[in-house]
């Protein structure tokens, strides 16, 4: 019997489906210092964003060479040392389709929140204040321009939603399709967009730092549901304080759980604790894709490759 370790939780229906298919499923989170040892005793592991599978963990797993498959329940695989794993005979797969709609909807929700002060106004009411005048200068999304940085599955899904609301959509990615007027340079996107939403993997450095934010349209809104490292939080805070940016909607943070109180408590920040894919529907779809990947892999049907 093959054993599958699930470190960051998984839909109960998916766990039941794996067990029905003959797998032993162990649901247990391991901190970094003990993860490698745990990987020595399992055939596959399913992770989300909390668990990071690095070279040191893979080296430990290779002592027994039992681990054959790592599945990321989600889109990005930047929390896994993919090349090193594959070079040592460990396959890596992800579930790129399952959570796109949920993340795109949350990005849109933050756009509405920033446009109409929903987060701040609701908080003030819970504190017993009726500040109608303070929050009476909202803006509409209709007629505005949304710039989407990283036009993959999630970005495209958000683009469709925005167009349905009457927004103009601009997009940027490294290898844009030819003859599509939506795709522009990053500088042009930043200069023309009323809202900028990030949907790229961790670039290894802040995609939005002080100089980049300075290129944004005055009074624009920045939305980040991608990776916390993509935004220089100090530069963002300065832009909010100076009025360069109208607001920001943040679901991801440089450090999680975040301790950046000045940023998450800022009156012009709409914030959530990394819940982009945390809907019932997305979790069910993630689980279904994970089950399909695992059962196909161990049945010898194919060798999965992660999708961008």
In the set 19, 63, 131, 256, the catalytic residue is 256
Query: In whole angstroms, what is the distance from residue 50 CA to residue 74 CA?
Result: 12
Active site (annotated) includes residue 256:
yes
CA distances from 28 to 25, 45, 132, 261 (A): 10, 11, 48, 31
What is the C-alpha separation between 209 and 276, in angstroms, rounded? 23
Q: Name the pairing type of β-strands 44-47 and 69-72.
A: parallel
Q: What residues have CB less than 8 Å from 239, skipping those under 6 apart?
A: 210, 213, 216, 245
Output the six-digit token pair for 284.
């069910």
Catalytic choice (57, 227, 246, 285): 227
Q: Which of 274, 285, 289, 306 is catalytic?
A: 274
Q: Which residues pair with 171 in a beta bridge?
A: 148, 183
Minimal CA–CA distance to 223: which of 149, 164, 282?
Answer: 149
Which sign does the torsion angle of CA 51, 57, 60, 64 carry? positive
As given in the structure block, the two tokens for residue 208 are 């939005």
Rg value, the chain, Cα: 21
User: Does the annotation count 123 as an active-site position?
Assistant: no
Active site residues: 227, 256, 274
């Amino acid at each position: 019997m093959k054993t599958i370790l699930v470190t960051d939780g998984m839909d109960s229906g998916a766990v039941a489906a794996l067990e029905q298919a003959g797998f032993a499923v162990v649901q247990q989170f391991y901190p970094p210092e003990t993860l490698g040892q745990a990987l020595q005793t399992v055939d596959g592991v399913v992770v989300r964003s909390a668990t990071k599978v690095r070279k040191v963990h893979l080296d430990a797993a290779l002592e027994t060479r039992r681990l054959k498959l790592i599945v990321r329940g989600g889109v990005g695989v930047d929390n896994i040392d993919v090349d090193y794993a594959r070079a040592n005979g460990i396959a890596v797969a992800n579930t790129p389709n399952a959570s796109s709609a949920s993340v795109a909807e949350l990005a849109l929700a933050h756009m509405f929140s920033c446009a109409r002060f929903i987060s701040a106004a609701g908080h003030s009411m819970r504190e017993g204040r009726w500040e109608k005048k303070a929050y009476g200068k909202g803006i509409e999304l209709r007629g505005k321009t949304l710039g989407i940085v990283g036009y993959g599955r999630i970005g495209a899904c958000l683009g469709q939603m925005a167009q349905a609301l009457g927004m103009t959509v601009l997009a940027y990615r490294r290898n844009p399709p030819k003859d599509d007027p939506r795709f522009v340079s990053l500088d042009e996107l930043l200069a023309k967009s009323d809202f900028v939403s990030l949907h790229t993997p961790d670039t290894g450095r802040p995609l939005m730092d002080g100089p980049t934010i300075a290129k944004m349209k005055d009074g624009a809104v920045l939305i980040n549901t991608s990776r916390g490292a993509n935004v220089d939080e100090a530069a963002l805070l300065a832009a909010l304080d100076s009025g360069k940016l109208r607001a920001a909607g943040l679901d991801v943070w440089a450090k999680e759980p975040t301790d950046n109180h000045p940023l998450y408590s800022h009156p012009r920040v709409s914030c959530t604790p990394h819940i982009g894919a945390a809907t019932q529907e997305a979790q069910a779809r993630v689980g279904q894709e994970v089950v399909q990947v695992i059962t196909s892999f161990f049945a010898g049907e194919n060798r999965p490759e992660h999708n961008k």
